Structure 1
């Protein structure tokens, strides 16, 4: 029986082919619920030299364990066909960067997408019988897509 103080773990966002949406959900999940985002973003710092203190070794071991847990969450978020393409990636950062490169596209693709969004925004007009709220919603959808592409 659950108590009032028990916490329900949120579900890991599943990748459904819409990378931009999934990456925002997954980033939020790793930031807020698991505190693993820093490892995904920056990776595990390289150990300088062999004369590490015990405290430094413990810190690196703790980071490696968190990295394994972050990788586990990423593995659970993707299906088998995608998993097979990233099996050689050894850290959560490498997995994230690989997925980003594959599904977000190159800078040329991003520029083409932005140009299409600009044209769509410029051509946007209110339809006959359309409410202001619906028109404004369509504007926001395009603006949010542009923001996703760092515009």
Structure 2
């Protein structure tokens, strides 16, 4: 598992997708987030009743989804995105 206190250089997309995607995959695996890319994240339907454990898991999944998006947004220039 990664240490979130360690600064990580995020690979910047420079137009060479194959190389960049390998670097991003490696980064996300090192951060323990690659499963979010493979499985994705879907919000439960409005009004879904969740017990405390399910709510905690949902909150964790939301946080991890935001972490993945954060890395991607940092890696891709605004003109490309």
TM-score range (shorter-chain normalised) is 0.7 to 0.9
SS in 2 for 1:80: coil
Q: How does 1:14-93 map to 2 (within 5 A)?
A: 14-32=12-30, 34-45=31-42, 47=44, 50-83=48-81
Distance apart, 1:46 and its partner CA = 5.2
Quick one: distance in 2 between partners of 1:44 and 1:28?
20
- Between Structure 1 and Structure 2, whose CA radius of gyration is higher? 1
Change in Cα spacing, 1:8 to 1:60, as seen in structure 2 (3 Å) is closer
Between structures 1 and 2, the one with greater helix share: 1
Q: Which runs of 5 or more residues in structure 2 are unaligned?
A: none
Quick one: distance in 1 between partners of 2:55 and 2:69?
21
Higher mean Cα deviation, 37-46 or 14-23?
37-46
Task: Give the TM-score normalised by structure 2.
Answer: 0.80
Distance apart, 1:35 and its partner CA = 1.2
Runs of 4+ in 1 over 3 A off after TM superposition: 45-49
Aligned CA RMSD, in angstroms, stands at 1.9
Quick one: distance in 2 between partners of 1:10 and 1:47?
32
| Higher RCO (CA 8 Å, separation ≥ 6 residues) | 2
Q: How does 1:117-136 map to 2 (within 5 A)?
A: none
Q: Which runs of 5 or more residues in structure 1 are unaligned?
A: 1-6, 84-151
Task: Give the TM-score normalised by structure 1.
Answer: 0.46
Distance apart, 1:43 and its partner CA = 0.8
Q: How does 1:96-115 map to 2 (within 5 A)?
A: none
